[in-house]
């Protein structure tokens, strides 16, 4: 494989890696069944792209996009976090689709389905990340920061409460913890991280449109964190690498033209997924045991 393609895929991996870690906090660690994650990613992408196009420096724009994604998560969290399990899943899925409908139909702001072209590359203090190589450095830095922050959260007393909520919310409530606040906090933080990923995406591809933020993306990230081992950030990153490499690597397998190679790639990917899940239903790196107080 040529280096430029490898670099590109690595950039994609850093972006998806951040998404996987952020969703892992919400779903893996806390057990909040969030199917609307792609929406926060999209909010980050649009916020950042529009601000930078309006002349705001990228560094400020990315902070704003994280704040915006976090803020929307907060608003969405108010009514939804009372719901549990699959009810939360369907509501977050619905809100994700409504958000996408806003991207699509607020044409004066987002240009709707036409998409936003010509987004400038990210730059910090005059250093412009205008090639994939440079962007990879930026992506890795952001991924590392996200990773460290997520690990800090998971292995702090706060993180133990999150896992407690996942295992048995009533028990945590019985200990006098306001679980609603904890859930809100993790949703906001996770969504802000998704906003960061969105900003990175927008300024890398330099073009965004609503079709980049579909529910399938959330599903895709879901598959990653399940196979990585719920609540395990290292697993999430490793599986992101494996997934992207496998999904795009299948392009290089010489499949016969008459067999519809693109569909066959999807078929093979699906079968490999089933086999992998059956082999390691708890993920490649099962969660480390947590000692409860």
Partner 1 sequence: MEIFVQLLINGVIAGGTYALAAVGYSMVYGALKFINFAHGSIAMVGAYIAFVLVTMADVPLVPAFLGSMLLTAGLGVMVERVAYRPLRRAPKLASLTTAIAVSFVLDAAVMIIMGADIRTFSLTGMRSYQIGPIYITPVQGAIILTSLVFMVGLYGLLTRTKLGKAIRAVADGISLAEVSGIDTNLIISAVFAIGSALAAASGALIGMDTNLQPTMGFIITVKAFAAVVLGGLGNVWGAVVGAFLIGIVENTGVWFIPPVWKDSIAYGILILALFLRPSGIFGKKEEAQVTVL
Partner 2 sequence: MKHRALALWIALLVVGALAVSFITPAPLAAEEPQVYKVGFISHLTGDAAVYGQSLKMGTELAVDVINEAGGINGVPVEVIYEDDRLSAADAQTAFLKLVETDKVPVILGSASSTISLSLCPKAQEKKVVQVSQVSTAPALKDCGPYFFSVMASDTAQGPEWVKVAEYLGVKEAAVMYINNDYGIGVKDTFVQAFEAAGGKLLIVQPFELGGKDFRTEVLKVKGTNPPVVFIVDHVAEASIVFKQAAELGLKTQWVTDVSIVSPEVPQLAGKEAVEGIMGLRAGSSQTPEYQAFREAFLKKFGKEPTIWADFAYDAMMLVAKAIEKGGYTADGIQKALFEVAETYVGPSGAKKFDEYGISQGSYEWVVVKDGEWVLYEKAPSATETPSATETAQ
List of residues contacting partner 2 (CB under 8 A) = 1-5, 8-9, 12, 104-105, 107, 112-115, 117-118, 201, 205-209, 211-212, 242, 245-246, 248-254, 257, 260-263, 265-266, 272, 276, 279-280, 282, 284-286
Residue with smaller CB distance to partner 1, 70 or 210: 210
User: Under rule CB under 8 A, which residues in 113-172 are in contact with partner 1?
Assistant: 166-167
- For CA atoms 30, 35, 39, 42, the dihedral sign is positive
The structure tokens 């409460």 sit at: 161
208, β-bridge pairs: 116
Closest CA to 63 of 52, 78, 73: 52
120 binds, among partner 1, partner 2, none (CB under 5 to 8 A by kind): none
249 binds, among partner 1, partner 2, none (CB under 5 to 8 A by kind): partner 2
Among positions 5, 59, 98, 148, the unique one binding partner 1 when judged by CB under 8 A: 98
Q: Should residue 223 be labelled a site residue for partner 1 when binding is judged by CB under 8 A?
A: yes
155 binds, among partner 1, partner 2, none (CB under 5 to 8 A by kind): none
Two tokens, residue 22: 């952020």
CA distance readout (Å), 49 to 39, 172, 256:
15, 41, 40
209 binds, among partner 1, partner 2, none (CB under 5 to 8 A by kind): partner 2
293 binds, among partner 1, partner 2, none (CB under 5 to 8 A by kind): none
Residue 118 has φ and ψ, to the nearest 5°, of 65, 35
CB 129, CB 121: distance < 8 Å? yes
CA distance 240 to 246: 10
Residues 6+ apart with CB under 8 A from 198: 40, 41, 42, 43, 44, 45, 46, 47, 48, 65, 69
Residue with smaller CB distance to partner 1, 43 or 142: 43
Binding mask 64-93 for partner 1 (x = CB under 8 A): ---------------xx-xxxxxx-xxx-x
User: Under rule CB under 8 A, which residues in 228-267 are in contact with partner 1?
Assistant: 230, 259-260, 263-264, 266-267
Residue with smaller CB distance to partner 2, 87 or 207: 207
CB 2, CB 156: distance < 8 Å? no
b/e 275-291 (16+ beta carbons within 10 angstroms → b): ebeeeeeebbbebeeee
CB 279, min distance to partner 1, A: 9
- What's the DSSP call for residue 123? E
Residue with smaller CB distance to partner 1, 141 or 267: 267
Closest CA to 199 of 133, 116, 126: 116
CB 165, min distance to partner 2, A: 25
Residue with smaller CB distance to partner 2, 57 or 286: 286
The structure tokens 């089933």 sit at: 274
Binding site for partner 1 (CB under 8 A): 27, 31-33, 79-80, 82-87, 89-91, 93-95, 97-98, 101, 104-105, 166-167, 215, 219, 222-223, 226-227, 230, 259-260, 263-264, 266-267, 269-271, 273-274, 277-278, 281-282
């Amino acid at each position: 494989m040529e280096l430029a393609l490898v670099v590109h895929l690595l950039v994609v991996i850093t972006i998806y890696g951040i998404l996987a870690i952020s969703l892992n906090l919400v779903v893996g660690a806390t057990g909040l069944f969030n199917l609307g994650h792609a929406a926060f990613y999209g909010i980050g992408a649009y916020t950042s792209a529009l601000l930078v196009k309006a002349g705001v420096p990228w560094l400020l724009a990315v902070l704003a996009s994280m704040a915006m994604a976090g803020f929307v998560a907060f608003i969405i969290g108010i009514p939804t976090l009372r719901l549990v399990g699959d009810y939360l899943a369907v509501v977050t899925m619905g809100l994700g689709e409504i958000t996408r409908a806003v991207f699509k139909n607020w044409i004066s702001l987002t240009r709707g389905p036409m998409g936003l072209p010509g987004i400038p590359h990210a730059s910090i203090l005059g250093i412009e990340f205008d090639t994939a190589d440079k962007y990879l450095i930026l992506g890795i830095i952001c991924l590392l920061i996200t990773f460290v922050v997520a690990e800090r959260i998971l292995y702090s007393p706060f993180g133990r409460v999150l896992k407690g909520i996942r295992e048995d919310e009533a028990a945590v409530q019985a200990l006098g913890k306001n679980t609603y606040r904890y859930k809100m906090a993790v949703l906001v933080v996770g969504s802000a991280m998704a906003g960061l990923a969105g900003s990175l995406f927008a300024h890398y591809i330099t073009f965004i449109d609503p079709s980049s933020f579909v529910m399938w993306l959330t599903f895709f990230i879901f598959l990653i964190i399940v196979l990585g081992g719920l609540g395990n950030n290292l697993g999430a990153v490793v599986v992101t690498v494996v997934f992207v490499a496998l999904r795009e690597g299948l392009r290089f397998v010489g499949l016969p033209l008459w067999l519809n190679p693109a569909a066959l790639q999807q078929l093979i990917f699906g079968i490999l997924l089933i086999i992998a899940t059956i082999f390691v239903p708890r993920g490649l790196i099962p969660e480390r045991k947590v000692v409860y107080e």
